[in-house]
Amino acid sequence: MPICNLSGTSCGRWGSWMCKDKELPTVLIIASVSILGTCLLVWVSKTARGKAHLPPGPRGFPILGYLPFLGPNLHQLFMELAQNYGPIYKLSIGQKLCVIISSPTLVKEIVRDQDIAFANRNPTIAAKTFSYGGKDIAFAPYGPEWRLLRKIFVREMQSNANLDAFYSLRRSKVKKSVRDVHGKKIGEPVDVGELAFLTVINMISGMFWGGTLGQEGEIDIGAKFRVAVAELVEILGKPNVSDFFPFLARFDIQGVKRKSRRYCDRWYRYKFNHVEWAMAEMMLHPQVMKKAQEELTNVVGINNLVEEFHIQELPYLHSIVKETLRLHPVAPLLLPRCPTESCNVGGYTIPKGTKVFLNVWAMHRDPEFWDHPSEFQPERFFGEGSRLDYLGNHLQYLPFGSGRRICAGLPLGERMVMYLLATFLHMFN
């Protein structure tokens, strides 16, 4: 006896509960096909992977049980897993195979020896939406178009000549922020993060687009934009079930595409760099702040304003910024790489299309390379440590990545962070 006649003319007694509307619910069809398709694809992928010598790792995580852990503390979870499985291990999440690497020796094979093979990205659904299909420098696939984009950006927007040409604009934005703080009443609180965020945004928007957040209600607009940026970053970092089961992407089950579109227009008006953690660490370590202010007094003079040419004469402040980025890297796992062909890393096979994460958060806290790795000690970047830079030349310290995919905005970012920190440390307690 049929459970339900799809034409809606009759129903069996076992299926009467399903046929109130004289048709089989579309949701049940989608769910059934999804479950069967998932089981088949996972079985096929595991059978294929079983023939390769993959890195060690736990059995595939049930997607619904694992999703809550794929949040802002993912890098810490990866560090704990590394203690059990070693510096290279795999995670099978849905249809996606992920490999996490937390050893400078193995990272070298990725960003040096096989840099071209690993120069592609595997962006999430949110990242694709945010970057209009992965067409920006961060997410575009490696190839002639990406090389042209990066060449134009580095040569036309990030050259020393162009950065120097915009110094007067950056200087005026910093001076305005100083006046705003100086004009506050005694005892009125100052939101350091808000102040730094607004200043940097206005510096960059003035350089690239010729505008600011506006003269009227500037702080209010900046606060709203900062909330929008924070929410977008959270969306980009949150797990999306469609990233692990791509055939579900068309349904936008968690609303990730919709939310990303809502924020990306506001995001593309302005971009910023990273200041707040450095200020927070110095407030937590007043002896560090005192040394930095003494250095500024000696180099700049007590009655003078900080200028960008002073930055190269401030080694202690440089060490503060470096130590801040060691403990609080902007992207703890960097942006995942994706090999264009099956590769061998550390004696293990990394299949084509695998998401490869470089856990710089773990490497920056590895006791093999760092004494007292959990403590904030800028002095570690003096002496032998002074050779550690932001260019990815020393693989135990990669705050901005390494190889072809290193952060393209590094020159401007370093200038602005140092200039902003130096100015406010010199002008205020």
The CATH number of residue 220's host domain is: 1.10.630.10
In the chain, the number of structural domains is: 2
Specify binding-site residues for heme. 407
Predicted pLDDT of residue 19 = 41
pLDDT tens column, 56-102 = 998 765 444 444 444 556 667 777 888 899 999 998 876 789 999 99
What are the phi and psi torsion angles at 58 (to 5°)?
A: -70, 165
Q: What is the pLDDT of residue 418?
A: 94
Same domain, yes or no: 46 and 155: no
Residue 337 in contact with residue 358, Cβ under 8 Å? yes
DSSP 3-state of 188 = coil
Q: Do residues 211 and 341 share a domain?
A: yes
User: What pLDDT was estimated at residue 202?
Assistant: 80
Locus of tokens 């096929």: 44
Residues 380 and 241 in one domain: yes
Residues 205 and 333 in one domain: yes
Whether 41 and 166 share a structural domain: no
Strand 355-358 relative to strand 96-101: parallel, antiparallel, unpaired? parallel
Residues flagged as binding site: 407
User: Are 181 and 306 in a shared domain?
Assistant: yes
- What is the spatial distance between Cα 230 and Cα 238, in angstroms, rounded to a whole number? 12
- Which of 32, 50, 68 is at the close of a domain? 50
pLDDT, tens only, 124-150:
776 776 667 778 888 889 999 999 999
Same domain, yes or no, for 148 and 45?
A: no
Q: Look at residue 61 and tell me if it is in a domain.
A: no
Residue 90 lies in a domain: no
Answer yes or no: do 173 and 44 share one domain: no
Residue 189 sits in the same domain as residue 44: no
Question: Average pLDDT in the 376-395 region?
Answer: 94
Q: Is the domain of 242 the same as that of 363?
A: yes
For the chain, give me the number of helices (H) and strands (E)? 17, 7
229 and 361 housed in the same domain: yes
Given 15, 31, 50, the domain boundary residue is 50
Q: How far is residue 181's CA from residue 375's CA, in Å, rounded to a whole number?
A: 31
Q: Which domain holds residue 212?
A: 144-427
Q: Could you tell me if residue 147 is left (phi over 0), alpha (psi between -120 and 50 degrees) or otherwise beta?
A: alpha
**pLDDT at position 240, please?**
60
Average pLDDT score over residue span 23-41? 55
pLDDT of the residue at 245: 57
Instruction: Report yes or no on 133 lying in a domain.
Output: no
CA distance 128 to 146: 15
- Is residue 112 assigned to a domain? no
Residue 270 falls inside a structural domain: yes
**Burial class (CB within 10 angstroms; exposed 0-12, middle 13-18, buried 19+) of 413:** buried
Domain membership of residue 98 (yes or no) is: no
Structure tokens at 224: 């709203």
At 51, is the pLDDT very low, low, confident or very high (cuts 50, 70, 90)? low
* Tokens encoding 92: 């099978």
Residue 352 has pLDDT above 80, yes or no: yes
Residue 194 confidence (pLDDT): 80
Q: Would you give the DSSP letter of residue 22? A: S
- 125 lies in some domain: no
Torsion sign, CA atoms 153, 159, 162, 166: positive
> What is the rounded (10 degree) CA torsion for 221, 172, 275, 280?
-90
For residues 354 and 339, the answer to whether their CB atoms sit within 8 Å is yes
The full DSSP string for 56-89 is P-PPPBPHHHHGGGSSTTHHHHHHHHHHHH-SEE
Provide the strand spans (E) within 283-426. Answer: 337-338, 343-345, 348-350, 355-358
Res. 190 pLDDT band, cuts 50 70 90: confident
Alpha-carbon span 308 to 421, nearest angstrom: 11
Is the per-residue pLDDT at 292 higher than 80?
Answer: yes
At residue 217, the pLDDT reads 46
Confidence class of residue 203 from pLDDT cuts 50, 70 and 90? confident
Residue 66 covered by a domain: no
What proportion of the chain, given as a percentage, has pLDDT over 70?
A: 68
